[in-house]
Structure 1
C-alpha cells in the first residue's frame, strides 16, 4: 500500500475525463481479480444492499471491471454504453436514481438491455489528478442514497482510490527499493501460558514495513494485533507502530472498547487524517478458549479447526480512519480448542499465491501441512521470493496446544 492524502482534500477538478496514458501507466487494464479490491466491493455490496458493487478501470474506449461479485461476469463495456463514461467527467460522486427515467442513460445498453436502474459512481484519480477508474454501485431497482449513505460511499471510494494509486509508478514513494536493501524475513515467536503459541513473520517491501503485528500476555488473556497501514516506508511504519502500541496499551479493554479509544485518539492527531489502516485486534482467554475480536476492513484471518473445518473471521467494519463517526463497530467472537490454529496475514501475502481471497484458503492448507509455524514461514518466504510481491508481507500464527 502507498500512502496518499485522502481526507479533507476535495477531488481534483482540473482533469475531468479519463487519461489513457495514466491508465496505461497503472498497468491494471485486463488484469486478474485481486482481494485488495474484492474486499472493498464485497463490503460495499453488503453495506448498501445493492445487486452489484464494482471497481472499474476506465480509458477513453472501454470500462474494464477489475472487481465484481463472484456470480457476475462484467468484463469490457464500451464507454458509450456505460454510466461510467459520465461519472469520470464529474468532480465528485455521480448518482443516478433511475436510469430509465434519465434521458442521458435510458437508451444505453446498461439500462435498456441489462436492466440497471440505480447507479452511483465515484471517480478514481491518481495522485496527480488524472482520472483512471470508478467505484460503482448498481441495482435493478430505483433508489436514492441518503446523506449518510453518500458519505459512507465516498469513504469506500477513497479506499478504492488509495489501492489503485499503489500501482502508479509515477507516484511519490511508489515502486520497489533495490533488492540489496530489502530486509530479510524476520521471525519472532514465543510460548505463552495456557498452551497458546504465537509466531510471526514480517517481510518488508522496502527498508521499513507499513505492516506490524504484536502481542502480549496479561494474566490469562493474550492480546494480538495485526495492522496494515496504507503506505510504505518510514511514515507508514511509524503510524503502524503507534497504532499497534496504542491498542496494546489498552490490553485491559475488550476489542471494541480498545478500538473506540484508539479511534478517538487518532482523530485528534492530524497526521492520521492522511492515511488509514486495516486491523485485526483480538483478545484470547487461555482458560476458556474464548476469542473476542474486531476486524477493521482486514478480513484476512482464518480459523483452522482440529477437525479439518475452517472459518474466516471477518466483519463489515471499514478500516480505521474511514469509518463514519456515527457507525458502530461490529464485534466478533469464537471459541478455540486443542489443535486449532488461527492465521492472520496482510494482503501482501496473497500476492505469493493468486492475489484473490482464495489465496487465504491456500495459505490455510499450507499451514496445516506444515509441522510447525517456522516450516510454514519458510515456505511462505520462498513463495514471496518467487512471485511478484510489491507489498509488505506479515503473517501471525496462533496455535492452541
Structure 2
C-alpha cells in the first residue's frame, strides 16, 4: 500500500507539526468510516481496476487510513516510514510508480518486498487550508506493473480534488480554536517575577506567537509576529513554534540563527516573513539576553518611572541576509522593572505609532497586576478593534 518518509517529515519537525495540527482541526481521524470518503475510494478502485484504493492522512509518526477499498484490509494506522504516502510527502504533484521493485526509492518497502507485493502505485496529494498544506494522499496500488496515461492521471486528480473538498467541509472552527489554544504557553513559576500574556486572533487563527518555558532556573521568552492573518499565518506561526521547541535551552543568538536557516526558506515560499523577540532571563541577576529580529516592540519601565523602547537593528526572519550574524542585546531588570512585549496589533489600539506602547505602560501603572492589566487590554480591544492579531506579554520583577 503506502510506504516510508524522509527524516524531515516525521516526529516533531515543523512540517509534521503543521500537518498534525491541521488534521486534528479537520476532526475526521477518529470518526470511523464515512460514506462521503468511502464513495471516493470505491469509485477510484472501480475506475482504474486496481486491487486497492486508499485515502490516507499523514500525521507526525503514522499514516491513518481514513478510507480504503481493497482486497486486503490494512491499518487503521501504519508507521509513516513504511508508506508510499510518507515517502512522497515532499512531492508537489502526483506520483506514479510503474514498478516499485524496479525503483530504488521504493523497492525496500515491506509492502513491496512482502505481501501484498505492491508493484504499481499512483497517488495525488490532498491539500487543505489557506496555505494548501499537504495532509495526505488519495492513491492506488496493484500487484501488477502498469502505467497511467494523461487521461487516467487527470481522472485521479479530479477524484483527489473531490476528496480535498470533503476534507475541508469537515473543518470545524470551534475545534480549530481548541487545537490552537493547546499551543499556548503553560504557566510557569519564576521566584521574584511575574509573567503573563494574551493573544487575540483577528480571525479564527492568529499569526502571532508568544511562548515561554524554563530550562533549569532560566526563563526563555518569545514573541513573534508572522506577516499576514488567517490560516496561512497561523500555520507558519505553528511552524516557528515547533522549531523553537526543538531548541529549548539554546542561547537566543543560536536559536534565531537556526530559525534563519530552518524556517526562512518556508517563509520565503509563502512570500511571508516573521518578526521575533527571543530572550533568556537569568532570574538571579535580572539579566535578559535577547535577539530582536525586526520586532522592536518592547517597552522597559523602570521602578523610578523612567521608560524606554528597545528597538531592533536586525531584519525579520525570512528577510535577513543569509550568513549575516544577528545583533545580540541585553537588558538588566532591577527590582520593580517591567517589560511589555507586544505584536504590532497592540499599536492599533491607539494611534498606530510607538506612542501606543506608552499608553500600555500607563495602563500597567494604573493596574500593576498581570491578569487585571491583560483584562484591561482585552476591554480596549473590544472598544477599538485593532483589525489585526493582538499579542501582549508582561514580564515584571517584583
TM-score normalised by length of structure 2: 0.52
In 1, the alpha carbon distance for the partners of 2:259 and 2:176 equals 31
Equivalent residue number for residue 309 of structure 1: 306
Superposed CA deviations along residues 212-249 of structure 1, whole A, max 9, x for unmatched, are 10110011110011110012112211111221231243
2:234 is aligned with 1:237? yes
1:178-232 per-residue CA deviation (whole Å, 9 max, x = no partner) reads xx99979x89773423322210111110000110101100111100111100121
CA displacement, residues 110-150 of structure 1 (integer Å, 9 cap, x when unaligned)? xxxxxxxxxxxxxxxxxxxxxxxxxxxxxxxxxxxxxxxxx
Match of 1:389 in 2: 386
Q: Which residue of 1 aligns with 2:198?
A: 201
Whether 1:260 aligns to 2:257 is yes
Work out whether residues 279 and 288 of structure 2, in 8 Å CA contact, stay in contact via their aligned partners in 1: yes
Does residue 228 of the first structure (1) align with residue 220 of the second (2)? no
Which structure has the larger Rg?
Answer: 2
1:262 is displaced (CA, Å) by 1.4
Q: Deviations over 1:306-357 (max 9, x none)?
A: 1211122222111110111143211110111221111101111111111111
1:211 to 203, 208, 213: 208
Of 322, 327, 331, the residue aligned with 1:330 is: 327
SS at 1:192 equivalent: coil
Aligned ranges 1:244-283 → 2 under 5 Å: 244-267=241-264, 269=266, 272-283=269-280
1: CA distance, partners of 2:364 / 2:277: 19
RMSD over aligned Cα, in angstroms? 2.7
Structure 2 Cα separation of the partners of residues 243 and 290 of structure 1: 25
Whether contact under 8 Å (1:350, 1:356) holds in the other structure is yes
Unaligned runs of 5+ in 2: 1-173
Give the CA deviation at 1:286: 1.0
SS at match of 1:231: coil
Residue 297 of structure 2 is aligned with which of 300, 311, 316?
300
Task: Note closer, same or farther for the CA distance 1:268–1:357 as it changes in structure 2 (3 Å cut).
Answer: closer
In structure 2, the residue matched to 1:290 is: 287
Partner of 1:192: 189
Question: Matches of 2:267 and 2:365 in 1, distance apart?
Answer: 43
Tell me the distance in 2 between the aligned counterparts of 1:235 and 1:222.
29
Structure 2 partner of 1:319: 316
> Could you tell me whether the CA contact under 8 Å between 1:303 and 1:312 is conserved in 2?
yes
The answer as to whether partners of 2:346 and 2:391 remain within 8 angstroms in 1 is: yes
Q: Distance in 1 between matches of 2:196 and 2:301?
A: 16
Query: Is the Cα contact below 8 Å between 1:216 and 1:223 reproduced in 2?
Result: yes
Partner of 1:14: none
2:397 corresponds to:
400
- Out of 221-230 and 268-277, give the one that drifted further: 268-277
The Cα shift of 1:268 comes to 5.0
- Separation in structure 2 between the aligned mates of residue 182 and residue 383 of structure 1, nearest angstrom: 26
Query: Which residue does the alignment assign to 2:367?
Result: 370
Mapped pair 1:341 → 2:333: no
Whole-Å separation in 2 of the counterparts to 1:189 and 1:195: 18
SS in 1 for 2:187: strand
Paired residues of 1:316 and 1:330 also in contact (CA < 8 A):
yes
Give the TM-score normalised by structure 1: 0.52
1:361 shift after superposition: 1.2
1:270 and 1:286 map into 2 onto residues whose CA distance is: 34
Counterparts in 2 of 1:235 and 1:332: CA distance versus 1, 3 Å: same
**1:270 & 1:376 partners in 2: Cα distance?**
33
Whether the 8 Å CA contact 2:259–2:317 is kept in 1: the answer is no
Report the Cα distance in structure 2 between the residues aligned to 1:386 and 1:181, rounded to whole angstroms. Answer: 27
